């Protein structure tokens, strides 16, 4: 068998080929073009055959699970490359202690994820899902005075003005929305002026002014639980919260209470805590919540580009090239 010396393709561990529950066909094609793929189930059945050969792991939707037991079974592992930007599911301290490199795929998903943010904002504001049911469901009465909320001219607060947040601002600017943002660091004045964005030094300053608040900040120790009872009480009773970041940033219990008590008007969520929500979760019963299933980057084009970048990151790490997207 080939190893990863010279020009031979390296052996890489990946979850499984499956269009519904694993790596879809377009990701599999990219993998097979550049690496020798060892599927996780095959590895479990043939550890002696593959343990010494595997030098990298490709993670697709957090799989396969990387823990101490797996690391112990792969003595020649050098790099873990995640198809995605977030790596909060990984034990980075453990991986660093093993001398492993970790890479991700930021920026490449900015535009698609920003599209999802605006999709959720518009769908919630114009009550798209309720209108759909008015046509489809014979048990839902047609209402001639059924109304949503105006988006153009409304005020949007963006929490987290990185690449995705700025892409959201560009889209909101095209809708002639008034834009406020809160971020650890302020954007250059030229970038603010390009989208008509005003900086808020504190989250509290932003919340009280906005009709829509969209969360785009990474999940960190500081942002976990950033939105709780107090934050919702600071928002307008007519406001909508939109989350395209990570579910843990919102205290789900506090959000449920705020929606039930009409402290805020609505929520639009691409991510939740827990994720997925249990079938009987009370949040899923509310008509003023719009859901998507963590689909921010979910277009074939973007996911293909993410896989290609993840593979390139892995190959660069194994060949000793400088890493643009290195986490550790």
C-beta neighbour count of 81 within 10 angstroms:
28
Per annotation, catalytic residue among 55, 171, 187, 294: 294
Per annotation, catalytic residue among 48, 246, 281, 303: 246
Sort 52 into a burial class: Cβ within 10 Å, 0-12 / 13-18 / 19+: middle
Q: Which residues of 204-226 are buried (b: 16+ CB within 10 A; e: fewer)?
A: eebbebbbbbbbbbbbeeebeeb
Annotation marks residue 275 as catalytic: yes
Annotation marks residue 246 as catalytic: yes
**Before 274, cis peptide (omega within 30)?**
yes
The string of DSSP letters for 22-81 reads SB-HHHHHHHHHHSEEEEHHHHHH-HHHHTTTEEEEEEETTBS---HHHHHT-TT--EEE
Annotation marks residue 281 as catalytic: no
- Phi, psi (deg, nearest 5) at residue 103: -125, 160
Per annotation, catalytic residue among 186, 275, 281, 303: 275
Residues 278 and 70 sit within 8 Å (Cβ to Cβ): no
CA-based nearest residue to 35, from 50, 57, 16, 19: 57
Residues serving a catalytic function are: 246, 275, 294
């Amino acid at each position: 068998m080939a190893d990863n010396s010279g020009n031979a393709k390296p052996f890489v561990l990946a979850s499984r080929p499956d269009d519904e529950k694993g790596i879809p066909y377009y990701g599999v094609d990219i993998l097979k073009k550049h690496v020798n793929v060892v599927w996780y189930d095959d590895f479990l059945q043939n550890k002696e055959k593959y343990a010494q050969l595997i030098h990298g792991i490709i993670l697709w939707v957090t799989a396969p699970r990387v823990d101490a037991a797996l690391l112990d079974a792969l003595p020649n592992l050098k790099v873990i490359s995640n198809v995605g930007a977030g790596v909060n599911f990984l034990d980075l301290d453990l991986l660093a202690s093993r001398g492993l490199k970790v890479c991700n795929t930021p920026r490449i998903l900015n535009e698609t994820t920003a599209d999802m943010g605006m999709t959720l904002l518009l769908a919630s504001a114009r009550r798209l899902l309720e209108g759909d049911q008015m046509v489809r469901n014979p048990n839902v009465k047609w209402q001639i005075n059924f109304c949503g909320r105006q988006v153009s001219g409304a005020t949007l607060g963006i929490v987290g003005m990185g690449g995705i947040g700025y892409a959201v601002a560009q889209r909101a600017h095209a809708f002639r929305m008034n834009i406020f943002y809160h971020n650890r660091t302020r954007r250059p004045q030229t970038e603010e002026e390009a989208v008509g964005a005003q900086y808020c030094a504190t989250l509290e300053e932003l919340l009280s002014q906005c009709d829509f608040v969209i969360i785009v900040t990474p999940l960190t120790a500081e942002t976990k639980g950033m939105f709780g009872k107090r934050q919702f009480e600071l928002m307008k009773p007519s406001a909508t919260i939109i989350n395209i970041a990570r579910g843990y940033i919102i205290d789900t219990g506090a959000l449920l209470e705020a929606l039930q008590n009409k402290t805020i008007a609505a929520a639009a969520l691409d991510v939740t805590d827990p994720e997925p929500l249990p079938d009987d979760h009370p949040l899923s019963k509310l008509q003023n919540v719009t859901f998507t299933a963590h689909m921010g980057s979910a277009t074939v084009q973007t996911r293909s580009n993410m896989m290609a970048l993840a593979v390139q990151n892995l190959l660069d790490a194994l060949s000793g090239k400088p890493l643009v997207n290195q986490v550790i």
